[in-house]
């Protein structure tokens, strides 16, 4: 099963694609889509096109994305929500089901501790993917963690994820 993990951000969105077969990760690809336009609408359009192109090329069976969490300013939450919307739309147009996970769930699944710091999550992602010393940007590591989290939960007996968005 190929799963795309998405870590949305209004200026930098991480993506990570993993292939999970017979209880093991066989391959992975990752990166960060950086948007530099001062206009949010231009950044969203660029992100949508980049995500669409990646989906066309990679054809994952599912995508997973982080839910919005509180604690940020209202303007940050709105920008994040719009960014998530663009990514959700790209996946919906490609007919790829999306599953949403809370940050605490992802961190607990990956590290065993729901409040793990980003560098700790990145190191566990690197270990789970047998990536050695491959340099993985934090945003991409979060996206890979999203994909790994979904692989773990989807392979569990009686998987019935209530938050399928698309």
Average model confidence (pLDDT) across the chain: 91
User: What is the reported pLDDT for 165?
Assistant: 39
In the chain, what are the domain boundaries?
A: 2-154
Q: Is the pLDDT of residue 162 over 50?
A: no
Q: Which of 19, 35, 66, 142 is catalytic?
A: 66
> What secondary structure letter does DSSP report for 113?
-
User: What is the reported pLDDT for 166?
Assistant: 33
Whether 56 is a known active-site residue: answer no
List all residues 6 or more positions away from 85 whose beta carbon is below 8 Å from its beta carbon.
Answer: none
Q: Which of 7, 19, 100, 142 is catalytic?
A: 7
pLDDT band, very low/low/confident/very high, at 125 (cuts 50, 70, 90): very high
The stretch 31-57 carries a mean pLDDT of 96
User: What is the reported pLDDT for 85?
Assistant: 97
Helix and strand tally (H, E) in the chain?
5, 5
User: What is the reported pLDDT for 157?
Assistant: 63
Q: What is the largest CA-CA distance in the chain?
A: 46
pLDDT band, very low/low/confident/very high, at 161 (cuts 50, 70, 90): low
Q: Is the pLDDT of residue 11 over 60?
A: yes
Whether 7 is a known active-site residue: answer yes
Q: Which of 19, 35, 100, 139 is catalytic?
A: 139
More confident residue, 143 or 166: 143
CATH code of the region 2-154: 3.30.420.10
pTM of the entire structure?
A: 0.92
Q: Is the pLDDT of residue 119 over 90?
A: yes
Whether 160 is a known active-site residue: answer no
Is 52:87 a contact under the CB 8 Å cutoff? Answer: no
pLDDT in tens, 96-117: 999 999 999 999 999 999 999 9
């Amino acid at each position: 099963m190929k799963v795309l993990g998405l870590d949305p951000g209004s200026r930098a969105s991480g993506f990570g694609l993993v292939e999970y077969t017979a209880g093991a990760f066989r391959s992975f690809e990752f990166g960060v889509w950086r948007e530099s336009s001062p206009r949010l609408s231009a950044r969203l359009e660029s992100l949508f096109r980049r995500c669409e192109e990646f989906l066309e090329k990679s054809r994952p069976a599912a995508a997973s994305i982080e839910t919005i969490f509180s604690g940020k300013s209202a303007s940050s939450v709105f920008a994040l929500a719009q960014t998530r919307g663009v990514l959700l739309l790209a996946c919906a147009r490609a007919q790829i089901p999306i599953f949403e996970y809370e940050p605490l769930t992802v961190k607990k699944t990956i590290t065993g501790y729901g409040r793990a710091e980003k560098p700790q999550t990145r190191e566990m992602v690197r270990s789970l993917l047998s990536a050695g010393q491959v340099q993985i940007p934090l945003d991409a590591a979060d996206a890979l963690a999203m994909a790994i989290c979904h692989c773990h939960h989807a392979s569990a007996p009686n998987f019935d994820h209530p938050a399928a968005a698309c």
